[in-house]
Amino acid sequence: MVTLESFTTGAMNLGIIIVIILIGGGFILTLLYFYFKYKKYKEFDCIIWDEGKITETHDKAGIFVDSKTKNKRLFLKKANVGLDPDNIPYKIGAGGKKIIYLLRSGLKNFKYIDIKVNEPNVKINVGEEDVNWAVNAYERQKKMFSTGLLMQLMPFIALAFVSIIILIIFIYFFKDFAVLKDVAINLKEASLSCNAGTIIR
């Protein structure tokens, strides 16, 4: 026979297990998110020259479809910009790494640099300014105010989390009912064993 105490203990253990699973699952999903974000920018190494300055900076890049705009771009990680993914003039560096040379003419304005080496000459071709970043930035801004799947599910996730917290509170509350039940039984037995007119304090 299932008693109230065993039921509340089992329900409490189940609630604790559910909370641990939710926390562990959230932690694993967070790690996977950052891992895949790190991995997708590992395809290219970018060497960036600033126009009019003798400076050189480095960045990482990868070709993928942006989840917000659904546009396929060559995304630069640090510059946070998407460039034209077609006909990229990359070179193969040490270890087989793909290297892209870019000329920066503004904060988000880039041009591809194609370096051709024909002994004893070195030819450098600078491409046209890439304007795809403007389209991508506009699409990102537009999508920022649209409701995504996560935002649609957020109220239900919050409701489930609050429900679990309330369930745990009720489990601890009802667990004490077993003690109250024992007290009531003892009082009843004491009252039956006493003579008539005896007052129980």
The predicted-structure confidence for 32-57, as pLDDT tens digits, reads as follows 877 877 788 888 999 998 887 778 89
| Range among 27-31, 67-71, 115-119, 155-159 rated most confident | 27-31
d(CA 104, CA 74): 15
User: Are 141 and 154 in the same domain?
Assistant: no
What local confidence, expressed as pLDDT, does residue 156 receive?
75
Is the separation of the CB atoms in 112 and 101 below 8 Å? yes
Out of 107, 131, 146, a domain closes at 146
Regarding whether 164 and 125 lie in a shared domain, the answer is no
110-118 and 98-104 strand pairing: antiparallel
pLDDT at position 1:
47
Q: Are residues 175 and 159 in the same domain?
A: yes
Q: Please report whether residue 198 resides in a domain.
A: no
Angle at 55 between CA 54 and CA 58, to 5 degrees: 150
C-alpha triplet 145, 148, 150: angle, nearest 5°: 130
Better-predicted residue by pLDDT, 41 or 10: 41
Same domain, 166 and 120: no
The domain of 105 spans: 41-146
Backbone phi, psi, residue 121, to 5° = -105, 150
Same domain for 83 and 110, yes or no, is: yes
d(CA 34, CA 77): 13
Q: Are 108 and 133 in contact (CB under 8 A)?
A: yes
Confidence of residue 150 (pLDDT cuts 50, 70, 90): low
**pLDDT exceeds cutoff 60 at 77:** yes
Identify whether residues 60 and 141 lie together within a single domain: yes
Whether 200 is covered by a domain: the verdict is no
Binned at pLDDT 50, 70 and 90, residue 2 comes out as very low
Residues 158 and 85 in one domain: no
Domain for residue 201, yes or no? no
Helix (H) or strand (E) holding 63: strand 56-65
Look up the pTM and report it.
0.52
| Confidence category of residue 138, pLDDT binned at 50, 70, 90 | low
Q: How many domains does the chain have?
A: 2
